[in-house]
A = this chain, B = another copy of it.
Amino acid sequence: MQQKKLKLADLAKLAGVSTSTASRALNDNPLIKLETRERIQQLAKEHNFSLNAAASRLRLQKTKVIAVLINLDSETEQSIDDPFLLKVVSDINLAVNRQGYELLLSNSFMAGEDWHGYFIDGRRADGVIVVGQGKQQALIEAASRAGMPLVVWGDPKTKADYVIVGSDNFLGGKIAAEHLMSKGCKAPLFLGEPEHAELGERYNGFCTAIKSSGLTERCQLLKIDITSQAAYEAINHKLRNDGLDFDGIFACSDMVALGAMKALKERYVSIPNDVHVVGFDDIAMADISFPSLTTVRQDTKQAGELLVSKLLAQLEGEQVASSQLEITLIERQSS
């Protein structure tokens, strides 16, 4: 059933030309007469010929592969449960393919400590997109210093010598806080984990807006693992212990917001009458929850494209800078 794999030399023989001619023909090299080129390409199609990528990579010193490294703190595990991550990866995938590259899906487990060695020296990929700065950025920095082409999805305000693409988290937090206050909130609460780079910025924006409004000096924070489960439990616990001492929630992600909302609903706290809720990300569920969730949308499509184009620019040797994506407040029923 399985005839012997055709190699370039075989194809060349079939066409009655040399291997080099066949190679050039397949790469549309104008050195080869147009007629010959077309004939060989046709022949290749007929025989379902495909180049041996391993050989090609060895010779070219290029893989045409981009690795996506999902960088989760093993402790807090924003486990890969969050649908937002999927959105990001999936949009990166699209952008990568559009550029004719393939996507190696990796993680801290496979890459070990020496990312440069693993991906670049190991000729597994030409460059890496790291998703999530996480709490400790040492490995990212090491890889960057070693010269690994690299773009990070994170908070672009971070002072770092590598390229970062991400939303304007500070502004997002600010907008969320202002929105809550405009709806009459006097005691809004931040639900999340400020030590995390991106989330920290959201918290900063949130606090800045509140303080500068003169509303209060105290900027309430409920620190939790960033999962809907943890949010649910934390709000539940808080309601039991402190009662309802807040009238607004800015959750660091939609999943967290949804977990919080469940706890509220179970205790008959009305949304948005008693508590206004704002999330972050705008995952599909935000629109489909009831009440639907007001949230700060991150433009993952643009993110994917920017991440990839900046990485490719680096591969071309260009100097590229971090950049910040616009975010938009999507007003829905929860506020």
Chain A residues with CB under 8 Å of chain B are 1-2, 5-6, 48-55, 57-58, 63, 68, 80-81, 83, 85-87, 89-90, 93, 97, 102-107, 109-110, 114, 116-118, 121-124, 145-147, 228-229, 232, 255, 258-259, 261-262, 265-266, 284-285, 287-290, 292
Q: What B residues does A123 contact at CB under 8 A?
A: 52-55
Q: Would you mind naming 25 contact pairs between A and B with Cβ atoms under 8 Å apart?
A: A1-B145, A2-B147, A6-B121, A48-B117, A53-B124, A54-B58, A54-B63, A55-B58, A58-B58, A81-B86, A83-B86, A85-B86, A93-B105, A97-B110, A103-B106, A228-B284, A229-B284, A229-B288, A232-B288, A255-B288, A258-B288, A262-B290, A265-B290, A266-B290, A285-B285
Nearest CB in chain B: distance from A256 CB, A: 10
Among A55, A118, A290, find the residue whose CB has the most chain B CB atoms closer than 10 A: A290
- Looking at chain A's contact residues, the main secondary structure is helix
The answer to whether A262 and B284 touch across the interface, beta carbons within 8 angstroms, is: no
A106 and B117 form a contact (CB under 8 A): no
CB distance from A161 to the nearest CB of B (A): 12
Of B53, B80, B122, B288, the residue contacting A52 (CB under 8 A) is B122
Contact of A80 among B58, B86, B228, B229 (CB under 8 A): B86
